[in-house]
């Protein structure tokens, strides 16, 4: 299972040609994201103006149906807490997301080339791509 991070999902939702091409390259893979990522995307869609908001929410719902949504549950909390470091780059929200990936057997997280990543020893691979 490969998980898509928020920036990758945003590129897909915005119809970026590189994102569409990348998505086609993952054909046949189980694609996932977490409840945390969907919350971020839902918040962005809800802040869009008027008719654009309705369209964005519809597009997000269509994308969500194509993904396995991993919960931030008790197992995710255990995995995240076991790896917490004092500085917690990215904040606890990001650690919860990583805990969900770890707890539910994700093999790879696909994210963008920006931003700090949590430390700790995670079993999944992190692939940074430019979209």
Q: Where are the domains of the chain?
A: 2-128
DSSP H or E run through 128: strand 125-128
Dump pLDDT digits (tens) for 77-123.
999 988 876 666 667 888 899 999 999 999 999 998 887 777 778 89
Give residue 51's pLDDT. 82
Helix (H, G, I), strand (E, B) or coil at 73: coil
Is the pLDDT confidence value at 42 over 90? yes
The fold of the 2-128 domain, in CATH, is Rossmann fold (3.40.50)
Helix (H, G, I), strand (E, B) or coil at 72: coil
Question: Tell me, what DSSP letter sits at residue 123?
Answer: S
Dump pLDDT digits (tens) for 47-76.
988 888 999 999 999 999 999 999 999 999
Give residue 88's pLDDT. 62
For the chain, what is the total number of helices (H) and then of strands (E)?
A: 6, 5
Integer CA distances (angstroms), 17 to 12, 21, 101, 130, 131, in order: 8, 6, 27, 12, 9
């Amino acid at each position: 299972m490969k998980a898509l991070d928020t920036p990758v999902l945003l590129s897909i939702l915005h119809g970026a040609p590189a994102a569409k091409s990348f998505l086609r390259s993952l054909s046949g893979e189980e694609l996932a994201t977490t409840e945390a990522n969907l919350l971020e995307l839902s918040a962005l869609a809800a802040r869009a103006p008027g008719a654009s908001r309705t369209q964005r929410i519809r597009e997000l719902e269509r994308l969500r149906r194509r993904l396995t949504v991993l919960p931030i549950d008790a197992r995710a909390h255990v995995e995240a807490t076991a790896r917490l470091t004092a500085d917690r780059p990215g904040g606890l929200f990001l650690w919860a997301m990583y805990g969900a990936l770890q707890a539910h057997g994700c093999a790879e997280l696909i994210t963008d080339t920006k931003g700090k990543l949590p430390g700790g020893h995670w079993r999944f691979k992190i692939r940074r791509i430019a979209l």
